[in-house]
């Protein structure tokens, strides 16, 4: 299956404003990219890149006064299959975990393991460790939080999401992955593309999506408390401890986001069907 993924973002800046952005498809999917996800700026500005602590690709730039437009339009192949299910996946003992996963057991900016540990064990301690326990977490969070864009808040933590019971995809992910960490299951936050592939459109504007992954049986598996069902066509951009590690943009000066469009659409393999999509975001 071939997906067209991309974005069109506009920032208005009062002065020259340094920016760091996470906007490229994660390197683990490099072999699946059929058309590169080059970042294009208007006006053109110098770009430089680096890999952060988590291996994500970051781009540095300085937005000029008056604003800047950032666009990308890529093609990426996905399997067309739903998220893998592994009902027999076992949980590791903490002492047996690979060292690189241990950071995903710890509390972080939006994931207060110390405040939610007792709650996690009271809710999920009787479920079998491993896959069944993770699914119990997803089911609970899916029911506990009400999805509402009007209630979105960029500073809401897992503890606040648990108590306020409203939020968007990042709030579901933060609460679910915090519960998993409390239960000694390494869990990391992921941001990326997730379109309405194989499901009815939900009628909301397309956005970047947030979900989480858990480490079981020696590998990472997808968890999605927001939808609580396997989905098709995830394309990750960045992984981290929580949303603060994978922010789409970090800006170092006053600015306003004045234009925001994201797309994740299935397209035909024929070039004739792809050409109109290319023209629609020309800058």
- Has residue 274 got a pLDDT over 80? no
* Interatomic CA distance for residues 11 and 45, integer angstroms: 14
Q: What is the pLDDT of residue 272?
A: 47
Q: Determine the structural domain holding residue 14 and report its residue range.
A: 2-80+247-279
Relative to beta strand 146-147, strand 166-167 is parallel
Q: What is the pLDDT of residue 273?
A: 47
Residue 158, in any domain of the structure? yes
Q: What is the pLDDT of residue 39?
A: 98
Residue 222, in any domain of the structure? yes
* Interatomic CA distance for residues 60 and 52, integer angstroms: 12
Residue 85, in any domain of the structure? no
Helices (H) and strands (E) in the chain, counts: 5, 15
Work out how many domains the chain is built from and give that number.
Answer: 2
Q: What is the pLDDT of residues 254-269, one digit of tens each?
A: 999 999 999 999 998 7
Residue 98, in any domain of the structure? yes
Q: What is the pLDDT of residues 144-197, one digit of tens each?
A: 999 988 888 999 999 999 999 999 999 999 999 999 999 999 999 999 999 999
Confidence of residue 271 (pLDDT cuts 50, 70, 90): low
Q: What is the pLDDT of residue 149?
A: 87
Q: What is the pLDDT of residue 114?
A: 98
- What lies within 8 Å, CB to CB, of 44 at 6+ separation is none
Q: Do residue 25 and residue 64 come from a single domain?
A: yes
Q: Do residue 26 and residue 127 come from a single domain?
A: no
Q: Average model confidence (pLDDT) for the chain?
A: 94
Residue 240, in any domain of the structure? no
Residue 20 has which token pair?
């760091």
Q: Is the pTM of this model over 0.95?
A: no
- Has residue 4 got a pLDDT over 50? yes
Specify the CATH number for the domain of residue 42.
2.60.40.2250
Q: What is the pLDDT of residues 99-141, one digit of tens each?
A: 999 999 999 999 999 999 999 999 999 999 999 999 999 999 9
Q: Do residue 141 and residue 207 come from a single domain?
A: yes
* Interatomic CA distance for residues 105 and 1, integer angstroms: 35
Q: What is the pLDDT of residue 270?
A: 58
Specify the CATH number for the domain of residue 222.
3.10.620.30
Q: Do residue 123 and residue 192 come from a single domain?
A: yes
Residue 266, in any domain of the structure? yes
Q: Do residue 74 and residue 102 come from a single domain?
A: no
């Amino acid at each position: 299956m071939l997906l067209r993924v991309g974005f069109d973002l506009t920032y208005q800046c009062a002065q020259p404003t340094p920016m760091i952005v996470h906007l490229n498809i994660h390197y683990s999917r490099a072999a699946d990219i059929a058309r590169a996800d080059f970042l294009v700026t208007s006006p053109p500005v110098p770009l430089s890149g680096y890999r952060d602590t988590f291996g994500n690709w970051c781009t540095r730039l300085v937005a000029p006064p008056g604003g800047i437009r950032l666009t990308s339009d890529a093609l990426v192949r996905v399997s067309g299959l739903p998220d893998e299910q592994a009902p027999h996946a076992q949980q590791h003992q903490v002492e047996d975990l690979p060292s690189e996963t241990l950071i995903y057991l710890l509390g972080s900016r939006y994931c207060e393991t110390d405040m939610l540990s007792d709650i996690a064990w009271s809710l999920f301690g009787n479920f079998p460790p491993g896959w069944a326990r993770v699914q119990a977490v997803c089911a609970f969070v899916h029911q506990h939080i009400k999805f509402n864009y009007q209630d979105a808040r960029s500073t809401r933590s897992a503890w606040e999401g648990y108590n306020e019971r409203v939020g968007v995809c990042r709030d579901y992910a933060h609460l679910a992955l915090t519960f998993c960490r409390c239960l000694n299951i390494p869990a990391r936050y992921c941001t990326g593309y997730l379109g309405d592939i194989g499901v009815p459109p939900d009628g909301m504007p397309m956005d970047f999506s947030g979900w989480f992954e858990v480490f079981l049986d020696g590998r990472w598996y997808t968890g999605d408390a927001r939808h609580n069902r396997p989905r098709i066509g995830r394309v990750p951009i960045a992984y981290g401890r929580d949303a603060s590690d994978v922010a789409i943009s970090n800006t170092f000066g006053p600015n306003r986001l004045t234009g925001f469009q994201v797309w994740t659409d299935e397209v035909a393999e024929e070039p004739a069907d792809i050409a109109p999509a290319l023209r629609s975001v020309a800058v």
